[in-house]
């Protein structure tokens, strides 16, 4: 079972430390997106990287449309990885939608996790009844319609909006290529699961402390979302970054590393000081 899970999700284990730190990529990406961040943690942590089914070098044959029609299916994969590697009290670092996947996994099996680090998280992307998620529902409908009709054109349009660092076009190009390398059927299903999802009610159930890393300008998860999460996530810390865009671990890795390390060091002092 363990071998099947590790192969299915193309799990990579790095580092010389003992404490497990899981890094989970966002929509349309894979574990390579963490390459600017992982070296800073290899000395002190056991790093676990993986690809969600349908992305990167995961086993596409394992893709189940019914299982992955909800984020809970991806959370189950995370828990199966934790089980295969016998992880306890892990730090889960999730980018974008992976923040909610990590939250669901922690709610289901709290003993697997010690802290959640959420980079550009959002519990709900659609504006509704005074809640600012960043998008009107018709915006999401239109985006998904474009994905279905012209997937490559959608990727070319969305990548610079997500990256939002025009001075480094190579990052935008990398993100676009990552989008384009994904099976469109899988990507569209994951987009629907992500952008139509609403995890606001799950926030109060968070069993472990969390760090919210919010970029000062983010077209996908605006600042209002970061403040909403901070108000509704128990024992959460909100850090407003100088970084712009939705992928600070790529565009601003040094700042991302600094904030994560500062948070984890403070949490360690609180626990053992």
Catalytic residue annotation: 96, 218, 246
Q: How far apart are CA 53 and CA 30, in angstroms?
A: 10
Query: Maximum distance among all alpha carbons in the chain?
Result: 57
> Residue 90 belongs to what H/E stretch?
strand 90-95
Q: Are 222 and 205 in contact (CB under 8 A)?
A: no
Q: Are 242 and 216 in contact (CB under 8 A)?
A: yes
Provide the token pair at 92: 């889960």
121 CB-near residues (< 8 Å, 6+ apart): 94, 96, 99, 100, 212, 221, 225, 226, 229
154 secondary structure, DSSP code = H
Provide the token pair at 208: 């472990």
Q: How far apart are CA 79 and CA 170, in angstroms?
A: 34
Q: How far apart are CA 221 and CA 161, in angstroms?
A: 12
- Which of 44, 16, 37, 52 shows the shortest CA–CA distance to 93? 37
Q: Where on the phi/psi map is residue 76: left (φ > 0), alpha (ψ -120 to 50), or beta? A: alpha
179 CB-near residues (< 8 Å, 6+ apart): 28, 154, 155, 158, 159, 187
Secondary structure class of 25 (helix, strand, coil): coil
């Amino acid at each position: 079972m363990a071998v099947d899970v590790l192969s299915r999700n193309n799990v990579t284990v790095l580092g010389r430390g003992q404490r497990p730190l899981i890094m989970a990529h966002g929509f349309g990406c894979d574990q390579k997106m963490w390459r600017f961040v992982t070296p800073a943690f290899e000395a002190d942590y056991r790093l676990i990287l993986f690809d969600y089914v349908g992305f990167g070098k995961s086993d596409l044959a394992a893709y189940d449309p019914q299982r992955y029609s909800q984020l809970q299916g991806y959370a189950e994969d995370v828990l199966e990885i934790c089980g295969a590697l016998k992880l306890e009290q892990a730090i889960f670092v999730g980018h974008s939608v992976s923040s909610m996947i990590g939250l669901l996994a922690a709610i289901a099996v709290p003993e697997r996790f010690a802290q959640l680090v959420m980079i550009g998280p959002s519990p709900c992307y659609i504006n509704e009844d005074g809640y600012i998620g960043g998008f009107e529902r018709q915006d999401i409908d239109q985006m998904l319609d474009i994905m279905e009709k012209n997937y490559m054109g959608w990727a070319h349009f969305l990548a610079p909006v997500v990256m939002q660092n025009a001075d480094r076009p190579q990052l935008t190009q990398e993100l676009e290529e990552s989008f384009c390398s994904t099976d469109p059927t899988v990507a569209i299903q994951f987009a629907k699961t992500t952008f139509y999802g609403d995890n606001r009610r799950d926030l109060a159930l968070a069993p472990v402390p969390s760090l919210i890393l919010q970029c000062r300008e983010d077209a996908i998860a605006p600042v209002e979302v970061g403040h909403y999460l901070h108000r509704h996530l128990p024992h959460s810390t909100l850090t407003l970054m100088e970084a712009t865009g939705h992928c600070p671990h790529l565009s601003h890795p040094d700042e991302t590393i600094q904030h994560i390390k500062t948070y984890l060091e403070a949490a360690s002092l609180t626990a053992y000081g």
